[in-house]
Amino acid sequence: MTSQSRAADITSIAKEETMTAKIIVTDRRVLLTGALAIGAAGLLPRSVTPATAQSSASNGFAPTETMAGGSNNYVANAPLVQNLGTGFVASGVVRRAGDGKPLSNIRVQIWAATERGGERVPSNRGSVMTGPDGSYRLDISPIVPQFGQPHIHIAYDDPGFATLFLRPVLNSRHDKALTADFVLAPAAGNEPRRS
């Protein structure tokens, strides 16, 4: 069984177990710890259960928040590509905030430092579209750490929804895949507030 399919299995387990609102699955260790913690939380009396475990049912899918450093080395409008090399797979599901409906035909921009060079190298930058089930997938050359951490950058920067920049970190620099699901907020949420 490949690490990728194992990651996918764990993802589905976690989803069943937590019905979590904010799904950013970036890291197997975090995911397992989280699943265990929430499983343990289920044994606690209701009043002690953390708010995160309770809010999911009432709020539905909360929008994913932009991560610190997520937009570093971003160059707008990464070209649509078939792949950015092979050896590493970035994938995930894009959903709409609220009801969690998978969003199809959404442009996901990805850039990362690979064996072929840093984040700014044009061939390390590309866009993919989500399929009918809201999922995206991009093959990339093996990821190397840039600025001390092996990570990739993911951007949603189109008019339909609020702009989002993610910077998921790999569990290990030798990982062959990373799953990053995220939830987009309505575009209005990102507009400057009018007084």
Q: Does 118 bind other proteins (CB under 8 A)?
A: yes
Q: Does 73 bind other proteins (CB under 8 A)?
A: yes
Site stretch for other proteins (CB under 8 A), options 36-44, 47-55, 92-100, 146-154: 146-154
Residue of 167, 175, 177, 183 interacting with other proteins (CB under 8 A):
167
CA 34 to chain centre: 16
Instruction: Look up tokens 């987009």; give the residue.
Output: 184
Q: Which of 134, 188, 124, 143 is nearest to 162 (CA)?
A: 188
- The Cα 73–Cα 120 span in angstroms is 6
Q: Which is nearer to other proteins, 134 or 168 (CB)?
A: 168
Backbone angles phi, psi at 82, to 5 degrees: -75, -45
**CA dihedral over 33, 37, 38, 42, signed as positive or negative:** positive
Q: Does 150 bind other proteins (CB under 8 A)?
A: yes
Q: Does 148 bind other proteins (CB under 8 A)?
A: yes
Interface with other proteins (CB under 8 A), residue total 25
Q: Does 42 bind other proteins (CB under 8 A)?
A: no
Q: Which residues bind other proteins (CB under 8 A)?
A: 67-69, 71-73, 113-121, 144-150, 167, 169, 173
